[in-house]
Protein backbone atom coordinates (compact mmCIF):
# COMPACT_ATOMS: atom_id res chain seq x y z
CA UNK A 1 0.00 0.00 0.00
CA UNK A 2 2.85 2.33 0.78
CA UNK A 3 4.49 1.81 -2.59
CA UNK A 4 1.27 2.53 -4.45
CA UNK A 5 0.83 5.85 -2.63
CA UNK A 6 4.39 7.21 -3.38
CA UNK A 7 4.40 6.38 -7.09
CA UNK A 8 2.06 9.21 -8.22
CA UNK A 9 4.07 11.94 -6.36
CA UNK A 10 7.27 11.51 -8.38
CA UNK A 11 5.79 12.52 -11.73
CA UNK A 12 4.24 15.64 -10.19
CA UNK A 13 7.61 16.69 -8.72
CA UNK A 14 9.34 16.06 -12.05
CA UNK A 15 6.81 18.13 -13.93
CA UNK A 16 7.26 21.02 -11.50
CA UNK A 17 11.04 20.95 -11.94
CA UNK A 18 10.72 20.86 -15.72
CA UNK A 19 8.38 23.85 -15.62
CA UNK A 20 10.86 25.79 -13.47
CA UNK A 21 13.66 25.02 -15.92
CA UNK A 22 11.49 26.00 -18.84
CA UNK A 23 10.60 29.31 -17.19
CA UNK A 24 14.28 30.00 -16.52
CA UNK A 25 15.20 29.18 -20.12
CA UNK A 26 12.47 31.44 -21.46
CA UNK A 27 13.64 34.28 -19.21
CA UNK A 28 17.21 33.77 -20.40
CA UNK A 29 16.17 33.88 -24.04
CA UNK A 30 14.13 37.00 -23.41
CA UNK A 31 17.10 38.72 -21.74
CA UNK A 32 19.42 37.73 -24.61
CA UNK A 33 16.98 39.03 -27.22
CA UNK A 34 16.58 42.28 -25.24
CA UNK A 35 20.36 42.82 -25.18
CA UNK A 36 20.51 42.52 -21.40
CA UNK A 37 23.15 39.75 -21.47
CA UNK A 38 26.79 40.39 -22.42
CA UNK A 39 28.17 36.92 -21.77
CA UNK A 40 27.29 33.42 -20.59
CA UNK A 41 29.10 31.31 -18.00
CA UNK A 42 29.27 27.68 -19.21
CA UNK A 43 30.19 24.82 -16.87
CA UNK A 44 32.63 22.38 -18.47
CA UNK A 45 34.70 19.51 -17.09
CA UNK A 46 37.74 21.80 -17.07
CA UNK A 47 35.90 24.50 -15.16
CA UNK A 48 33.67 27.49 -15.84
CA UNK A 49 34.21 29.40 -19.09
CA UNK A 50 32.94 32.82 -20.12
CA UNK A 51 31.51 33.13 -23.62
CA UNK A 52 31.01 36.68 -24.90
CA UNK A 53 27.97 37.13 -27.10
CA UNK A 54 28.49 38.60 -30.56
CA UNK A 55 27.96 42.38 -30.47
CA UNK A 56 27.98 42.51 -26.66
CA UNK A 57 31.17 44.59 -26.66
CA UNK A 58 29.58 47.35 -28.79
CA UNK A 59 28.82 49.54 -25.78
CA UNK A 60 32.41 49.27 -24.62
CA UNK A 61 33.75 50.21 -28.06
CA UNK A 62 31.52 53.28 -28.03
CA UNK A 63 32.73 54.17 -24.56
CA UNK A 64 36.43 53.91 -25.46
CA UNK A 65 35.98 55.80 -28.71
CA UNK A 66 34.53 58.75 -26.77
CA UNK A 67 37.59 59.05 -24.53
CA UNK A 68 39.84 62.10 -24.85
CA UNK A 69 42.88 59.90 -24.24
CA UNK A 70 44.21 57.17 -26.47
CA UNK A 71 43.57 53.61 -25.25
CA UNK A 72 45.46 50.51 -26.41
CA UNK A 73 45.55 46.85 -25.49
CA UNK A 74 48.99 45.41 -26.16
CA UNK A 75 49.63 41.67 -26.28
CA UNK A 76 52.66 40.06 -24.66
CA UNK A 77 54.61 40.30 -27.91
CA UNK A 78 54.03 44.08 -28.03
CA UNK A 79 51.45 44.00 -30.83
CA UNK A 80 48.41 46.29 -30.56
CA UNK A 81 45.37 44.05 -30.19
CA UNK A 82 42.94 46.93 -29.77
CA UNK A 83 42.99 50.73 -29.84
CA UNK A 84 40.41 53.46 -29.87
CA UNK A 85 40.15 56.16 -32.50
CA UNK A 86 41.67 58.80 -30.26
CA UNK A 87 44.98 56.89 -30.21
CA UNK A 88 44.93 56.76 -34.01
CA UNK A 89 44.41 60.52 -34.02
CA UNK A 90 47.34 61.07 -31.63
CA UNK A 91 49.75 59.11 -33.83
CA UNK A 92 48.15 60.58 -37.00
CA UNK A 93 47.66 57.20 -38.59
CA UNK A 94 44.48 55.75 -40.14
CA UNK A 95 42.60 53.67 -37.61
CA UNK A 96 42.67 50.55 -39.80
CA UNK A 97 46.49 50.66 -39.97
CA UNK A 98 47.08 50.80 -36.21
CA UNK A 99 45.67 47.50 -34.96
CA UNK A 100 47.94 44.53 -35.45
CA UNK A 101 51.22 46.46 -35.54
CA UNK A 102 53.81 46.69 -32.72
CA UNK A 103 53.29 49.70 -30.47
CA UNK A 104 57.03 50.39 -30.59
CA UNK A 105 56.62 51.30 -34.26
CA UNK A 106 55.29 54.65 -33.04
CA UNK A 107 58.32 55.18 -30.76
CA UNK A 108 61.48 56.76 -32.23
CA UNK A 109 64.73 54.80 -31.73
CA UNK A 110 66.05 57.23 -29.14
CA UNK A 111 63.00 56.62 -26.91
CA UNK A 112 62.65 52.86 -27.30
CA UNK A 113 64.81 51.88 -24.33
CA UNK A 114 62.71 54.05 -22.01
CA UNK A 115 59.53 52.77 -23.66
CA UNK A 116 60.45 49.10 -23.19
CA UNK A 117 61.43 49.70 -19.57
CA UNK A 118 58.07 51.36 -18.94
CA UNK A 119 56.19 48.54 -20.66
CA UNK A 120 58.03 45.89 -18.62
CA UNK A 121 57.18 47.73 -15.44
CA UNK A 122 53.58 48.03 -16.61
CA UNK A 123 53.37 44.23 -16.98
CA UNK A 124 53.94 43.96 -13.20
CA UNK A 125 52.24 47.08 -11.80
CA UNK A 126 50.81 50.42 -12.79
CA UNK A 127 53.52 52.51 -14.44
CA UNK A 128 53.55 56.08 -15.75
CA UNK A 129 56.00 58.19 -17.69
CA UNK A 130 56.45 60.89 -20.32
CA UNK A 131 57.72 59.83 -23.74
CA UNK A 132 57.89 61.15 -27.28
CA UNK A 133 56.04 59.14 -29.92
CA UNK A 134 56.58 59.45 -33.65
CA UNK A 135 53.43 60.11 -35.65
CA UNK A 136 52.68 58.55 -39.00
CA UNK A 137 53.93 61.69 -40.77
CA UNK A 138 57.22 61.51 -38.87
CA UNK A 139 56.55 64.44 -36.53
CA UNK A 140 57.26 64.03 -32.79
CA UNK A 141 54.33 63.87 -30.38
CA UNK A 142 54.99 64.37 -26.63
CA UNK A 143 52.77 61.94 -24.69
CA UNK A 144 52.07 60.86 -21.13
CA UNK A 145 51.81 57.05 -21.01
CA UNK A 146 50.21 54.85 -18.34
CA UNK A 147 50.58 51.06 -18.48
CA UNK A 148 48.84 48.43 -16.32
CA UNK A 149 48.97 44.61 -16.44
CA UNK A 150 46.19 42.79 -18.30
CA UNK A 151 45.35 39.33 -16.95
CA UNK A 152 42.82 36.67 -17.84
CA UNK A 153 39.66 36.62 -15.75
CA UNK A 154 40.26 34.81 -12.42
CA UNK A 155 43.78 33.95 -13.51
CA UNK A 156 47.26 35.13 -12.68
CA UNK A 157 48.44 34.59 -16.26
CA UNK A 158 49.56 37.80 -17.95
CA UNK A 159 48.14 38.27 -21.42
CA UNK A 160 49.41 41.79 -22.09
CA UNK A 161 49.20 45.37 -20.89
CA UNK A 162 46.59 48.10 -21.13
CA UNK A 163 47.88 51.55 -22.05
CA UNK A 164 46.40 55.03 -21.81
CA UNK A 165 48.20 57.64 -23.93
CA UNK A 166 47.56 61.36 -23.56
CA UNK A 167 48.86 64.03 -25.95
CA UNK A 168 50.74 66.62 -23.87
CA UNK A 169 51.96 68.82 -26.73
CA UNK A 170 50.15 71.86 -25.37
CA UNK A 171 51.45 71.22 -21.86
CA UNK A 172 55.01 70.93 -23.19
CA UNK A 173 54.63 74.16 -25.14
CA UNK A 174 53.35 75.98 -22.07
CA UNK A 175 56.25 74.63 -20.01
CA UNK A 176 58.73 75.73 -22.68
CA UNK A 177 57.21 79.21 -22.80
CA UNK A 178 57.28 79.43 -19.01
CA UNK A 179 60.92 78.36 -18.83
CA UNK A 180 61.86 80.79 -21.58
CA UNK A 181 60.08 83.64 -19.82
CA UNK A 182 61.76 82.81 -16.51
CA UNK A 183 65.12 82.85 -18.28
CA UNK A 184 64.31 86.17 -19.92
CA UNK A 185 63.18 87.65 -16.59
CA UNK A 186 66.41 86.58 -14.92
CA UNK A 187 68.39 88.05 -17.82
CA UNK A 188 66.41 91.29 -17.56
CA UNK A 189 67.09 91.43 -13.82
CA UNK A 190 70.82 91.04 -14.40
CA UNK A 191 70.77 93.74 -17.08
CA UNK A 192 68.84 96.05 -14.75
CA UNK A 193 71.38 95.47 -11.99
CA UNK A 194 74.24 96.23 -14.38
CA UNK A 195 72.50 99.42 -15.52
CA UNK A 196 71.96 100.62 -11.94
CA UNK A 197 75.54 99.73 -11.00
CA UNK A 198 76.83 101.67 -14.03
CA UNK A 199 74.73 104.72 -13.20
CA UNK A 200 75.81 104.61 -9.56
CA UNK A 201 79.43 104.48 -10.64
CA UNK A 202 79.26 106.99 -13.49
CA UNK A 203 76.90 109.58 -12.02
CA UNK A 204 76.43 109.24 -8.29
CA UNK A 205 80.00 108.08 -7.74
CA UNK A 206 81.42 110.99 -9.70
CA UNK A 207 79.21 113.44 -7.81
CA UNK A 208 80.38 112.10 -4.46
CA UNK A 209 83.97 112.29 -5.65
CA UNK A 210 83.40 115.91 -6.65
CA UNK A 211 81.96 116.61 -3.20
CA UNK A 212 85.01 115.08 -1.55
CA UNK A 213 87.39 117.17 -3.66
CA UNK A 214 85.32 120.31 -3.07
CA UNK A 215 85.30 119.87 0.71
CA UNK A 216 89.07 119.46 0.67
CA UNK A 217 89.35 122.63 -1.40
CA UNK A 218 87.22 124.51 1.12
CA UNK A 219 89.53 123.40 3.89
CA UNK A 220 92.45 124.87 1.96
CA UNK A 221 90.67 128.14 1.07
CA UNK A 222 92.41 131.25 2.37
CA UNK A 223 89.41 133.56 2.26
CA UNK A 224 85.77 133.23 3.32
CA UNK A 225 84.62 134.51 -0.07
CA UNK A 226 86.40 131.70 -1.87
CA UNK A 227 85.04 129.15 0.62
CA UNK A 228 81.47 130.48 0.18
CA UNK A 229 81.79 130.25 -3.59
CA UNK A 230 82.94 126.64 -3.36
CA UNK A 231 80.14 125.85 -0.88
CA UNK A 232 77.50 127.08 -3.33
CA UNK A 233 79.01 124.92 -6.06
CA UNK A 234 78.95 121.89 -3.77
CA UNK A 235 75.36 122.66 -2.82
CA UNK A 236 74.31 122.44 -6.47
CA UNK A 237 76.26 119.19 -6.80
CA UNK A 238 74.46 117.73 -3.76
CA UNK A 239 71.06 118.75 -5.17
CA UNK A 240 71.89 117.11 -8.49
CA UNK A 241 73.05 113.97 -6.70
CA UNK A 242 69.81 113.80 -4.71
CA UNK A 243 67.83 114.01 -7.95
CA UNK A 244 69.89 111.18 -9.44
CA UNK A 245 69.42 108.99 -6.36
CA UNK A 246 65.68 109.72 -6.39
CA UNK A 247 65.48 108.78 -10.05
CA UNK A 248 67.30 105.50 -9.37
CA UNK A 249 64.98 104.83 -6.43
CA UNK A 250 61.90 105.40 -8.56
CA UNK A 251 63.41 103.11 -11.18
CA UNK A 252 63.73 100.33 -8.62
CA UNK A 253 60.19 100.79 -7.30
CA UNK A 254 57.60 103.33 -8.43
CA UNK A 255 56.56 104.58 -4.98
CA UNK A 256 54.17 106.99 -6.66
CA UNK A 257 51.81 104.02 -7.10
CA UNK A 258 51.65 103.60 -3.34
CA UNK A 259 51.13 107.32 -2.81
CA UNK A 260 48.49 108.33 -5.37
CA UNK A 261 47.37 105.15 -7.20
CA UNK A 262 47.80 103.96 -10.77
CA UNK A 263 45.51 106.42 -12.54
CA UNK A 264 47.05 109.50 -10.94
CA UNK A 265 50.57 108.09 -11.36
CA UNK A 266 50.00 107.56 -15.08
CA UNK A 267 48.65 111.08 -15.51
CA UNK A 268 51.60 112.57 -13.62
CA UNK A 269 54.19 110.56 -15.52
CA UNK A 270 52.78 111.45 -18.93
CA UNK A 271 52.63 115.15 -18.02
CA UNK A 272 56.24 115.11 -16.74
CA UNK A 273 57.29 113.35 -19.94
CA UNK A 274 55.54 115.98 -22.07
CA UNK A 275 57.12 118.86 -20.16
CA UNK A 276 60.59 117.32 -20.26
CA UNK A 277 60.58 116.53 -24.00
CA UNK A 278 58.42 119.39 -25.27
CA UNK A 279 55.62 117.31 -26.82
CA UNK A 280 51.87 117.62 -26.58
CA UNK A 281 50.19 114.94 -24.45
CA UNK A 282 46.64 113.65 -24.23
CA UNK A 283 45.66 111.26 -21.39
CA UNK A 284 42.36 109.35 -21.10
CA UNK A 285 41.72 107.09 -18.10
CA UNK A 286 38.47 105.16 -17.57
CA UNK A 287 37.13 102.58 -15.14
CA UNK A 288 39.39 103.19 -12.13
CA UNK A 289 36.74 104.33 -9.66
CA UNK A 290 36.34 100.92 -8.02
CA UNK A 291 38.60 98.49 -6.22
CA UNK A 292 42.35 99.00 -6.80
CA UNK A 293 44.17 96.63 -9.10
CA UNK A 294 46.58 94.01 -7.71
CA UNK A 295 50.02 95.53 -6.97
CA UNK A 296 51.81 93.39 -9.55
CA UNK A 297 49.38 94.48 -12.27
CA UNK A 298 49.74 98.14 -11.33
CA UNK A 299 53.53 97.89 -11.45
CA UNK A 300 53.42 96.11 -14.82
CA UNK A 301 51.16 98.77 -16.37
CA UNK A 302 53.38 101.56 -15.06
CA UNK A 303 56.59 99.89 -16.27
CA UNK A 304 55.10 99.26 -19.72
CA UNK A 305 54.09 102.93 -19.90
CA UNK A 306 57.62 104.00 -18.94
CA UNK A 307 59.17 101.73 -21.55
CA UNK A 308 56.78 102.87 -24.28
CA UNK A 309 57.38 106.56 -23.57
CA UNK A 310 61.13 106.03 -23.37
CA UNK A 311 60.94 104.48 -26.82
CA UNK A 312 59.02 107.52 -28.06
CA UNK A 313 61.68 109.86 -26.66
CA UNK A 314 64.61 107.90 -28.13
CA UNK A 315 63.36 106.92 -31.57
CA UNK A 316 59.98 108.37 -32.57
CA UNK A 317 60.80 112.11 -33.05
CA UNK A 318 57.16 112.71 -32.18
CA UNK A 319 55.38 116.03 -31.69
CA UNK A 320 52.49 114.55 -29.69
CA UNK A 321 51.68 111.44 -27.71
CA UNK A 322 48.37 109.99 -26.56
CA UNK A 323 47.86 107.58 -23.67
CA UNK A 324 44.62 105.67 -23.07
CA UNK A 325 44.19 103.49 -19.97
CA UNK A 326 40.87 101.62 -19.68
CA UNK A 327 39.76 99.02 -17.18
CA UNK A 328 36.70 96.82 -17.52
CA UNK A 329 35.58 93.86 -15.45
CA UNK A 330 38.34 91.47 -16.51
CA UNK A 331 40.96 93.37 -18.54
CA UNK A 332 43.18 96.42 -18.43
CA UNK A 333 44.09 98.03 -21.75
CA UNK A 334 46.99 100.45 -22.12
CA UNK A 335 47.43 102.20 -25.47
CA UNK A 336 50.33 104.53 -26.24
CA UNK A 337 50.18 106.35 -29.59
CA UNK A 338 52.64 108.80 -31.13
CA UNK A 339 52.85 110.71 -34.43
CA UNK A 340 56.53 109.99 -35.02
CA UNK A 341 58.50 108.35 -37.80
CA UNK A 342 57.29 104.80 -37.20
CA UNK A 343 59.20 101.64 -36.42
CA UNK A 344 60.13 99.56 -39.44
CA UNK A 345 59.74 100.21 -43.17
CA UNK A 346 58.13 96.80 -43.69
CA UNK A 347 56.01 96.95 -40.54
CA UNK A 348 56.61 95.83 -36.94
CA UNK A 349 55.78 92.20 -37.70
CA UNK A 350 58.98 91.90 -39.75
CA UNK A 351 61.26 93.63 -37.24
CA UNK A 352 64.11 91.47 -36.01
CA UNK A 353 64.57 90.35 -32.40
CA UNK A 354 67.48 92.79 -32.08
CA UNK A 355 65.27 95.67 -33.18
CA UNK A 356 62.60 94.62 -30.69
CA UNK A 357 65.16 94.72 -27.87
CA UNK A 358 66.63 98.02 -29.08
CA UNK A 359 63.21 99.62 -29.15
CA UNK A 360 62.26 98.28 -25.71
CA UNK A 361 59.39 96.26 -27.17
CA UNK A 362 60.91 92.96 -26.07
CA UNK A 363 60.70 94.02 -22.42
CA UNK A 364 57.08 95.10 -22.89
CA UNK A 365 56.18 91.79 -24.50
CA UNK A 366 57.88 89.78 -21.74
CA UNK A 367 56.15 91.71 -18.96
CA UNK A 368 52.78 91.20 -20.61
CA UNK A 369 53.39 87.48 -21.22
CA UNK A 370 54.22 86.87 -17.56
CA UNK A 371 50.69 87.97 -16.66
CA UNK A 372 49.04 86.15 -19.56
CA UNK A 373 48.58 89.33 -21.55
CA UNK A 374 49.21 90.33 -25.17
CA UNK A 375 50.94 93.14 -27.07
CA UNK A 376 49.93 94.60 -30.43
CA UNK A 377 52.12 97.02 -32.38
CA UNK A 378 50.81 99.01 -35.33
CA UNK A 379 53.18 101.29 -37.22
CA UNK A 380 53.65 102.92 -40.62
CA UNK A 381 56.58 104.99 -41.84
CA UNK A 382 55.89 108.62 -41.15
CA UNK A 383 52.53 107.88 -39.52
CA UNK A 384 53.63 107.05 -35.99
CA UNK A 385 53.32 103.98 -33.81
CA UNK A 386 50.59 102.59 -31.57
CA UNK A 387 51.37 100.05 -28.85
CA UNK A 388 48.37 98.32 -27.29
CA UNK A 389 48.75 96.06 -24.27
CA UNK A 390 45.95 93.90 -22.86
CA UNK A 391 46.42 92.47 -19.36
CA UNK A 392 43.94 90.19 -17.57
CA UNK A 393 43.02 91.31 -14.06
CA UNK A 394 42.57 87.75 -12.83
CA UNK A 395 45.97 86.68 -14.18
CA UNK A 396 47.69 89.14 -11.86
Q: How far is CA 299 from CA 168, 184, 274, 304, in A?
A: 34, 18, 21, 9
Question: Is residue 280 classed as helix, strand or coil in its secondary structure?
Answer: strand
Structural domain harbouring 223: 171-252
Q: 66, 86, 60: which is closest to 163 by C-alpha?
A: 86
- Whether residue 125 is found in the same domain as residue 235: no
pLDDT at 32 over 50: yes
What 3-state DSSP class applies to 159?
strand
Q: Are residues 359 and 281 in the same domain?
A: yes
Beta strands in 21-139 (DSSP E): 39-44, 47-52, 70-75, 80-83, 127-134
Between 186 and 339, name the one with better pLDDT: 339
Residue 160 lies in a domain: yes
Q: How far apart are CA 259 and CA 180, in angstroms?
A: 34
Domain boundary among 138, 167, 196: 167
pLDDT of residue 270: 92
Average pLDDT across the chain, whole number? 80
Name beta bridge partners: 44.
47
Say which DSSP state 386 is in: E
Q: Find the angle CA(130)-CA(135)-CA(141) to the nearest 5 degrees.
A: 30
Give domain status of residue 62, yes or no.
Answer: no
> pTM of the prediction?
0.47
Does position 285 have pLDDT exceeding 60, yes or no?
Answer: yes
- Mean pLDDT, to the nearest integer, of 88-92? 92
328 and 235 belong to one structural domain:
no
Q: What's the domain count of the chain?
A: 4
Q: Is residue 40 part of a domain?
A: yes
The residue among 344 and 152 whose pLDDT is bigger is 152
392 and 316: one domain? yes
186 and 156, same domain (yes or no): no
Residue 378: inside a domain, yes or no? yes
Examine residue 267 and state whether it is found in any structural domain, yes or no: yes
Q: Which of 209, 237, 252 is the last residue of a domain?
A: 252
Apex 148 CA angle, 51 and 67, nearest 5: 75
Strand order in the sheet with 385-392: 280-286, 320-327, 331-338, 385-392, 374-379
Amino acid sequence: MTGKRKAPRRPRAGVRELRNRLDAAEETLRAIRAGEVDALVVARPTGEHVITLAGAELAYHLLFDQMNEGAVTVARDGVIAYCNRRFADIVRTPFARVRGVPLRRFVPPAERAAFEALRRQGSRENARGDLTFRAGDGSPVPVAVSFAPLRADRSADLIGVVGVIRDITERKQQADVRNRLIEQVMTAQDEERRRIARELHDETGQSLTALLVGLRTIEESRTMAKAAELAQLLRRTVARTLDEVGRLSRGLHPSVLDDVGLDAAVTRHVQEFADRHGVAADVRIEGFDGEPLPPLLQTTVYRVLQEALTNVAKHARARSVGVRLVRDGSTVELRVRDDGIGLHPAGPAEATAGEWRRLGLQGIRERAALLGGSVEVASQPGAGTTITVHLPVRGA
